[in-house]
Amino acid sequence: MSIVQEFKEFAVKGNVMDLAVGVIIGGAFSSIVNSIVKDLIMPVIGVITGGLDFSNMFVRLGHVPASYKGNPDSYKDLQTAGVAVFGYGSFITAVINFVILAFIIFLMVKFINKLRQPQAAAPAEPPPTPEDVLLLREIRDSLQNSPR
């Protein structure tokens, strides 16, 4: 079998197509979670922490060029100017994104697994006792009842 034929069989299998759909939906879902974190959760956390803005938390590692005209306290401006900055606030935001995304995926998998479980039916009747077992019981009972 040629490599082209093997690849064709691999590419058209259902699992590969399911994976492709999952990746596309995951990318779209990731942008939704990023928006939830950036636009809804982080502002609330900022209010709770007294106006703390995680996205602008950084440590400047390099020197600011003399020609720099932007805000020296702006993470994005310093990055644009090429100044080395250690942006731990962006990392905190990414970790929060991951935790929320992982929790939502966990809930989705749990829900899907619950749907896949067979519904509990009424208890089934036990199968009838085989005839050979019934005959052996009769023999046993007749031997117990016979005089010795």
Dump pLDDT digits (tens) for 114-126: 887 776 667 778 8
> How many C-beta atoms surround the C-beta of residue 56 within 10 A?
14
Output the pLDDT for position 29. 82
| Domain ranges across the chain | 3-119
Output the pLDDT for position 93. 80
- Which residue do the tokens 């401006």 mark? 77
User: Are the C-beta atoms of 75 and 93 separated by less than 8 Å?
Assistant: no
**Which regions in the chain score pLDDT beneath 50?**
none
User: pTM of the prediction?
Assistant: 0.53
Extended strands (E) in 11-130: 59-60, 85-86
Extended strands (E) in the chain: 59-60, 85-86
Instruction: Please identify, in words, the CATH class of the domain defined by 3-119.
Output: mainly alpha
